[in-house]
Amino acid sequence: MAPRIGSLWDAVGNTPLLRIGSLSRLTGCEILGKAEFMNPGGSIKDRAAKGMILRAETDGRLPPGGTIVEGTAGNTGIGLGLLGRERGYRVVVTMPDNQAREKYEYLEAIGVEVRKVPAVPFSNPNHFFHAARTLSEQHGWFWANQFENPANGDFHYETTGPELWEQCEGRLDVLVISVGSGGTISGVSRYLKEKNPALRVVLVDPHGSGLYSYVREGKMETTGSSITEGIGIMRVTENFRRSRVDEAMRLSDQDMLEMLYHLAKEDALVVGTSAAINVRAAYDVARQHRGQGLRIVTLLCDHGSRYASKVFNAEFLASKQLVVKPLPT
């Protein structure tokens, strides 16, 4: 039978679920990662982009030839850029000026207009979120608003969750997941908890984010900062509000980095920082249940090539007092 012919739009989703061999062997648990870096834009944010564009088209907020504007750390902008440009839209993104240069270069290459803003706290009116909203109000553009737009989480409920359930044949014990906008955890946790109420959902948070404290103590507090990109927030977004979370973990950049390099060298998985912190948390959960055969699932959010100038750069790591160490066993 001839292969089905489609477009970038059609290529979003249905990503493979990979067994992470080295970690599964070390722990006696099955650690699985959904290869979201295999989406056409190279990240899980393609799903959010598709869901938000589709709903906006359906309800008339995004007319033919219109403009999409979004505040992003990069990956959502890339997803909106690829899918939006393919469908004939102008795409404008506001981004903090401290992200990996590969993201800016990629966005500009596909015709997205990048407007860099200072990397400031959310309370500052110059924050990339507020900058996108302001442009939308000034020009009448469609603001994707990934943090508060429920179409983000709903698309994960409709696609990512069912894919995982089918791929796992209904058998999974733990879901480990970090939070950026809250869309993935919202949709996936809701769907899988409906299928299996006993599923344990573990949120993993970097330093500088308040969700760890919020889940455990009901208040937004944090310490330190992190070099991870695209995850960690200091507020409860509309998407995150609808998630179903049982517990939370907080991991350091050093924890993340150890896993990042381990995956590259031992499993040939070159992933980004959010994927590395996800897998490190899954590994730590598995170590707590060594030899029990738990099936632990997480998300490989994007590819590590997008961060080569940072986490795979010795000078950058030295500037952050980070040293690559072996993964503890």
Interatomic CA distance for residues 31 and 24, integer angstroms: 5
Residue 282 Cα to chain centre, angstroms: 15
Tell whether the torsion through CA atoms of 35, 36, 38 and 42 is positive or negative.
Answer: negative
Taking each helix axis as running N to C, give the angle between helix 75-86 and helix 45-58, from 0 to 180 degrees, rounded to the nearest 10.
Answer: 50
Tell the burial category of 317 from Cβ atoms under 10 Å away from its Cβ (0-12, 13-18, 19+): middle
3 DSSP 8-state letter: P
User: Which residue intervals of 110-206 are DSSP H helices?
Assistant: 128-139, 150-158, 160-167, 183-195
- Joined together, the tokens standing for residue 230 give 């695209």
CA-wise closest residue to 142 among 57, 65, 61, 21: 61
Q: Are 228 and 274 in contact (CB under 8 A)?
A: yes
Catalytic residue numbers read 45
Q: Are 276 and 10 in contact (CB under 8 A)?
A: no
Strand (E) or helix (H) holding 30: strand 30-35
Q: Are 178 and 205 in contact (CB under 8 A)?
A: yes
> In 249-267, which positions are buried (b, 16+ CB within 10 angstroms) versus exposed (e)?
bbbebebbbbbbbbbeeeb
Interatomic CA distance for residues 151 and 228, integer angstroms: 25
Q: Are 209 and 178 in contact (CB under 8 A)?
A: no
Tell the burial category of 94 from Cβ atoms under 10 Å away from its Cβ (0-12, 13-18, 19+): buried
